[in-house]
Amino acid sequence: AQRVTQPEKLLSVFKGAPVELKCNYSYSGSPELFWYVQYSRQRLQLLLRHISRESIKGFTADLNKGETSFHLKKPFAQEEDSAMYYCALSYSSASKIIFGSGTRLSIRP
């Protein structure tokens, strides 16, 4: 079955430190991978998707098919990065989006 695993419920780092939020998936085909973010009191919104290969707000994520991972990285954390981050997977045959359990990122000043 398709699954998204985010092993860390909470990640706390100091401002200016590098950040890596881990995401592993299980799917035998070619998935679409996404990262969604939910800032305090705001709705869930798309941060980035692997197909676009963009850097958004300094964040990047590389799809590693060999390790079935899609870790989210940022070289220097900022306080405004504090939020809940969800890794998600979709596949065109079924169309639904499957989310991981989320990682709460807390940036300490």
Sketch the per residue contact string, 12 through 51, with other proteins: x for CB under 8 A, - otherwise.
Answer: --------------------x-x-x------xxxx--x-x
Size of residue set near other proteins by CB under 8 A = 24
Nearer to other proteins among residue 29 and residue 109 (C-beta): 29
* Residue 72, strand partner residues: 21, 61
- 73 alpha carbon, distance to own chain's centre: 9
Minimal distance in Å, beta carbon 32 to other proteins? 5
**Which member of 77, 100, 105, 107 binds other proteins (CB under 8 A)?**
100
Q: Are 70 and 87 in contact (CB under 8 A)?
A: yes
Rounded Cα distance between 73 and 38, Å, is: 17
Question: If you search the block for the tokens 């980035």, which residue do you land on?
Answer: 48
